[in-house]
Structures are given as C-alpha cells and as structure tokens.
C-alpha cells in the first residue's frame, strides 16, 4: 500500500469496501451525538466534519475496530508522541493548502510555478522526515502506526526522495537570491524621474537604514532601504501594457528556467500524498485528549473486547450516558454533579430484547442514549463509558423516539408511529441495534398493548438487539408469554426497570461524582430533584436493572412540582381571591366586585 492510499482509520486503505450504515440525522438528534462530536473535535468547528464522518459510520467490522483501538492506545499512552503529532498537524495542513489540484495556470510566470513547486516539495520532505522521526522515537505497538512508519522509511530510502533532500536546498538558496528587484530611476537635473531600468536581482531588503549614510558612504552592505518599506496593493503582474513588467518577467523567466528544468525529474512526486493524514491524526489526538479529560474528572472509560458479530451481544459494566456526563462537566453552576451508572447487557441468555419501564424522570431516555452512544463509540474504535466491556459490532443503530406530531391530511400520530415502526422492520437486521422510546403512545392503552406485543414478537423473530422504553407495564409483565409464543427464536425478551426507592428504603447504588476543574470533588450538595423530595413519595435511583415492572410513574410528584395537585390548585385559587375559604369550608365565593366581569371560576366549588 502506498502512502497516498494509506489510512489510519481503515486497515485496507481509505478506499476499502465498507458494509456499514451511516446514522440518520434523526438518530443523531435522538441520541445527542452532537455533544460527543463537539467534545471529540475539541470544540474546533474545523475538525467537526471529520469527527461526524467517523462516528456516524457505524457497522465497522471487528478488525477495523481493533486497528483503531490499537492506534488510539499508542497515542493516548504516549504524551510525547501525541505532542509531536500535534506539532506536525499544522505542517500537514499547510501542505494541503499548498496543493493545487488544477495544476499551474497558463499565464503563470515560470518563477511563480517554481516557487509553488519548491514550497510543496520542501513541505513534503519536512513532513515525511518529522513524522517518521516521531514514530521511531515512540516505537508504537499498533499495526497502523508501525505500517505508517514502514511506509515513511521506504519513501525516505527511495532514490527520488534522496535526490529531493540533496537538490532542494541549493534551489531554495537560488530563489532567495531573487527575492528583491532593484530598479534604477534616472532623474533630471531637477530631480524629476526621467527613465527607469531593472538594475539587479538580489536578496530581500532588510528595511530602513540611514539616508545620510547611504548618500555619503554608498550602498548599505546589509541591503537596507533609505525609506521605510511600503506595502503595495495587489498588482496585476500579467499586465502586458507595463513595459517594465514585461522586462521583469523576461528576466525572471530566464532566472527560473534552469531551476524548473532541475525540478522536472520530480514531477511524479505527489507532495499532497500525506494531506489526508492530517484530519486522521487530529481525530486520534482529540480522542486521546477527551479520554484524559473524562478520566481526570473521575469518569471511568474502558476499551471493549471485540466479540464476534455472530454473538450479537453487548456487556458493559457500569455504563453511563457520555453526552450527559460532558454536559455536567461543562456546567458552571455550583454543586457536585453526579451520574448513576447501569450495566448494559444483550445476549441469548439474559435478554436480547428488553422492555424498559419505570417512572417519569427515572432515567429511561438517558439509558437509551447511553446504550446507543456506547455502540457508536465502539464502532469508531473509541473507549466506552464503563469499567469493562465486551461488544459485538452492529451494522446499524436505528432509533424511533417520540416526536412532535406532523400535519398529514387524514392521518394522526398513530399512523406516523406505525409507519415509522414499519420502516424500522424494513431496515433492521439481526445485527442491528434498535432503540424505541414511547412508541405507540398515540392510542389507548389496550390497543397500544396489542400492537406493541406484536412488534416485540417481531423483534424476537428478527433477533436484533432492542430496547423498548414504554409506560405499558403490562407489556413488560407479559414477557414470559411473548417468549412462549415465538419459540423458534434465540433472542429472549426480558424486563428492565428504572429503580425506585420507597419511603424508608436505603439509598440506591453509589453514583459517580464528577470532579470538575478547580472544584472540590465533594463540593456543596447538588440541588435535589423535585421528584426526590422527602415527602413520602417514592424516589428514583436512576439505576436501570432487570426486574418486573413496578407500575409507578411519579405523576403526582411531577404535578406537585408544577403546582397542579388539587391541594395546590385550591391554595392558589384562594390566594387569588376566588375562594372564601381556601382550606375547604365549602363556602360560596365572594360576589364579583363592581367594575369586574365575572370570570369562569366565579362559581361555587366543592369543599
């Protein structure tokens, strides 16, 4: 493989066949992929396009994932290598900017073509030399970096490259001797300009010198000007009406001719052959920096073991939503930030299709996103949130989250949900990951239960990894019947539940306390979630565990948070003067005041 076709992301080269499916914009929005992309790009908008391209191309195979994992391990564990690669990035970027895919223009001066070509080749020689030196010093273990080092060594040992190293310095020196054109202007006795001619070609002038010294002692040996250097506006150097410019062009063409002839033997050298490595190196440097940042904040990350695709399995110990963690880490509000980890499991024994139930604000959507982001990170060859992991590659990540109803004539929300669910079954394969959030909520509980049961049975037949987050607690309770009804499948359906603590029960699992820069890891206590107040209501643990549904929704706690529980409504109406006795005496409301029209609530209410 040549340097031009070599890739740090694809072991078979950038043009190798790929079988993966790119994430849809809807799936990216559902899973909050943008937060991850910005963090991997170091919040540098120039880098984001490359990162989007890598993390949204799911379906990478096991060897490709391992190839990337090994390269990142080299970069992340060798600070010196990461630093040297970062220092080479501007050089590779400059080489890319200098590359001119359209070739020289017909009206280019020979000297301009020469300087462009010299710059390209000089940058190329420097990039090859410095990149190889960085890799030799690092002694990388990864297949990718060792292959790159070998390719660079082969390039440097070629006769053409050696000739470049030897031939470029004298050519550059020759060009430097022509960076300044001295023009003589003859003056009349009255010191009016009379005629002009090109006097000499030499090195660039150094700036202002002493005028008296120049007048009485001749030319300044350092080449300094009598007057300050003036920055001219852009000049049309191709203007044939300017006789002086025509003379200058002819002079420079004659000067450049021998040098251009000397460069002809290097016409086959593609100086831009390394430019594609710049965004790839930047991707690994950004990933290594993000890993270091998260670990410094106390957030565990691990490099998953790659399981065979045929297993269709995923095991992550202590997984969490990395996008949520990044947001909490960036928050400026005081107080300790916490995140609750949960294990992620898909296999043919515990469950490959999970029905996830639990209360509102119990962490169901957060968990779905955690699962999706975990598989996306894994496909990109990056560490995943958690203490240990073993994952089979997926060929796609498909989401169906609750979305605002769109106006389609003759159709309602249920039509839209049913249509999207049909599309999911048209896209998914046994090696896909499907994440459903509040699907089939556009009809009655009884009808939704029947439709959802059929869909889950279909996923059991398909065998894809799937999580269905829902408030249909009866669906989760019926998993044994669903499994019995589709016996020819090897993908068991099981129940997950968002943990809840009843009053008096001990606390749930210990959360991860995020250590933010410049802040004590303990910090002041975070403001409690309104649904967790000590008011006798059950409290969410945000911990997702296998188990039967509990049938709790926290609707009453959320209603109280927004002030719409009946007791709160009675008190508010009493404060507004609509109730004679806000504590429930049942007395009539006061008569409307003069000048005020009776309102809709000016009536007797039950006590």
For residue 43, give every residue at least 6 positions away whose Cβ sits within 8 Å of its Cβ, in sequence order, or none: none
pLDDT of residue 144 exceeding 90: yes
The pLDDT of residue 383 is 98
**Same domain (yes/no): 192, 221:** yes
**Same domain (yes/no): 193, 52:** no
Asked, for residue 13, whether it belongs to a domain, the answer is no
Asked, for residue 422, whether it belongs to a domain, the answer is no
The pLDDT of residue 282 is 95
**Same domain (yes/no): 56, 146:** yes
- C-alpha distances in angstroms, 585 versus 142, 273, 412? 79, 86, 45
CA 160, 166, 172, 174: dihedral to nearest 10 degrees? -120
Q: Which of 255, 277, 298 is the last residue of a domain?
A: 255
Gap between the terminal Cα atoms of the chain: 85
Do 525 and 349 touch, CB atoms closer than 8 A?
Answer: no
Residue whose C-alpha is closest to residue 337's, from 498, 511, 509: 511
* This prediction's pTM: 0.78
**Same domain (yes/no): 227, 124:** no
**Same domain (yes/no): 135, 279:** yes
For residue 330, give every residue at least 6 positions away whose Cβ sits within 8 Å of its Cβ, in sequence order, or none: none
Residue whose C-alpha is closest to residue 364's, from 550, 551, 542: 542
Do 145 and 71 touch, CB atoms closer than 8 A?
Answer: yes
pLDDT category of residue 403 using cuts at 50, 70 and 90: low
Asked, for residue 529, whether it belongs to a domain, the answer is no
Do 9 and 54 touch, CB atoms closer than 8 A?
Answer: yes
Residue whose C-alpha is closest to residue 440's, from 418, 460, 464: 418
**Same domain (yes/no): 281, 133:** yes
Asked, for residue 261, whether it belongs to a domain, the answer is no
**Same domain (yes/no): 127, 205:** no
pLDDT tens, position by position, 310-321: 999 999 999 999
Residue corresponding to tokens 């993000």:
290
Share of the chain above pLDDT 70, in %: 69
Asked, for residue 208, whether it belongs to a domain, the answer is yes
DSSP state of 208: B
Q: 349 in helix, strand or coil?
A: coil
Asked, for residue 363, whether it belongs to a domain, the answer is no
Asked, for residue 337, whether it belongs to a domain, the answer is no
**Mean pLDDT across the chain, nearest whole number?**
80
For residue 536, give every residue at least 6 positions away whose Cβ sits within 8 Å of its Cβ, in sequence order, or none: 503
pLDDT tens, position by position, 405-452: 554 544 557 778 888 889 999 999 999 999 999 888 767 778 888 889
**Same domain (yes/no): 107, 216:** no
Q: What is the mean pLDDT of residues 575-589?
A: 63
**Same domain (yes/no): 128, 191:** no
DSSP state of 579: -
Q: Helical H runs in 139-210?
A: 143-156, 159-176
Asked, for residue 402, whether it belongs to a domain, the answer is no
**Same domain (yes/no): 146, 161:** yes
Do 391 and 307 touch, CB atoms closer than 8 A?
Answer: yes
**Same domain (yes/no): 41, 134:** yes
**Same domain (yes/no): 205, 150:** no
Query: How many domains, in total, are found in the chain?
Result: 3
Q: What tokens appear for 550 in the block?
A: 């509990």
pLDDT category of residue 587 using cuts at 50, 70 and 90: very low
Residue 100, domain extent: 21-176+269-285
Residue whose C-alpha is closest to residue 494's, from 481, 473, 479: 479
Sort 185 into a burial class: Cβ within 10 Å, 0-12 / 13-18 / 19+.
Answer: exposed
Q: Among the listed ranges 49-58, 69-78, 103-112, 223-232, which one has the minimum average pLDDT value?
A: 103-112
């Amino acid at each position: 493989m040549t340097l031009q076709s070599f890739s740090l992301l694809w072991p078979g080269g950038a043009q190798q066949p790929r079988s993966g499916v790119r994430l849809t914009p809807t799936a990216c929005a559902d899973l909050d992929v943008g937060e991850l992309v910005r963090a991997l790009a170091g919040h540098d908008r120039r880098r984001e396009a490359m990162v989007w391209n890598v993390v949204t191309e799911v379906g990478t195979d096991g060897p490709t994932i391992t190839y990337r994992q090994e390269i990142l391990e080299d970069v992340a564990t060798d600070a010196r290598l990461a630093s040297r690669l970062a220092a080479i990035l501007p050089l590779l970027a400059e080489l890319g900017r200098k590359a001119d895919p359209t070739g020289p223009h017909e009206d280019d001066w020979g000297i301009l073509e020469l300087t462009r070509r010299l710059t390209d080749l000089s940058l190329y020689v420097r990039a090859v030399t410095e990149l190889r030196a960085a890799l030799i010093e690092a002694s990388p273990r990864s297949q990718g970096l060792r292959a790159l080092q070998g390719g660079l060594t082969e390039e440097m040992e070629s006769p053409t490259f050696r000739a470049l190293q030897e031939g470029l310095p004298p050519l550059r020196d020759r060009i430097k001797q022509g960076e300044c054109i001295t023009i003589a202007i003859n003056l009349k006795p009255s010191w009016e300009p009379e005629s002009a001619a090109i006097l000499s070609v030499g090195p660039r002038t150094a700036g202002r010198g002493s005028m008296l010294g120049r007048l009485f002692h001749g030319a300044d040996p350092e080449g300094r000007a009598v007057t300050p250097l003036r920055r001219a506006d852009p000049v049309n150097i191709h203007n044939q009406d300017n006789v002086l410019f025509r003379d200058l062009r002819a002079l420079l063409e004659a000067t450049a001719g021998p040098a251009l002839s000397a460069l002809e033997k290097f016409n086959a050298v593609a100086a831009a052959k390394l430019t594609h490595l710049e965004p790839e190196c930047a991707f690994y440097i950004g990933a290594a920096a993000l890993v270091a940042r998260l670990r410094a904040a106390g957030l565990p990350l691990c490099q998953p073991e790659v399981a065979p695709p045929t297993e269709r399995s995923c095991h992550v110990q202590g997984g969490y939503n990395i996008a949520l963690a990044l947001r909490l880490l960036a928050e400026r509000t005081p107080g300790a930030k916490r995140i609750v980890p949960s294990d992620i499991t898909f296999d043919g024994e515990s469950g490959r299709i999970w029905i996830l139930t639990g209360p509102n604000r119990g962490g169901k959507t957060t968990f779905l996103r955690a699962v999706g982001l975990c598989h996306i990170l894994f496909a990109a060859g990056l560490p995943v949130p958690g203490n240990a992991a073993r994952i089979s590659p997926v060929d796609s990540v498909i989401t169906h989250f609750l979305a605002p109803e769109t106006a389609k004539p003759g159709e309602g929300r249920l039509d839209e949900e049913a249509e999207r669910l049909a599309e999911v079954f048209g896209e998914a394969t046994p090696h896909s990951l499907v994440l459903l959030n509040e699907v089939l909520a556009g009809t009655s509980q009884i009808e939704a239960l029947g439709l959802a049961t059929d869909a889950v049975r279909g996923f059991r037949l398909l065998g894809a990894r799937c999580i269905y987050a829902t408030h249909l607690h009866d669906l989760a309770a019926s998993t044994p019947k669903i499994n019995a009804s589709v016996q020819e499948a090897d993908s068991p359906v099981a129940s997950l539940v968002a943990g809840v603590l009843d009053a008096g029960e001990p606390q749930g699992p210990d959360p991860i306390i995020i250590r933010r820069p410049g802040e004590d890891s303990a910090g002041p206590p975070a403001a409690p979630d309104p649904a967790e107040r000590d008011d006798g209501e059950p409290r969410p643990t945000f911990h997702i565990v296998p188990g039967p549904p509990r049938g709790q929704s926290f609707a009453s706690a959320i209603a109280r948070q927004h002030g719409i529980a009946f007791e709160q409504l009675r008190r508010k109406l009493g404060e507004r003067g609509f109730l004679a006795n806000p504590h429930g005496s049942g007395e009539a409301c006061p008569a409307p005041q003069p000048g005020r029209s009776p309102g809709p609530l000016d009536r007797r209410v039950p006590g």
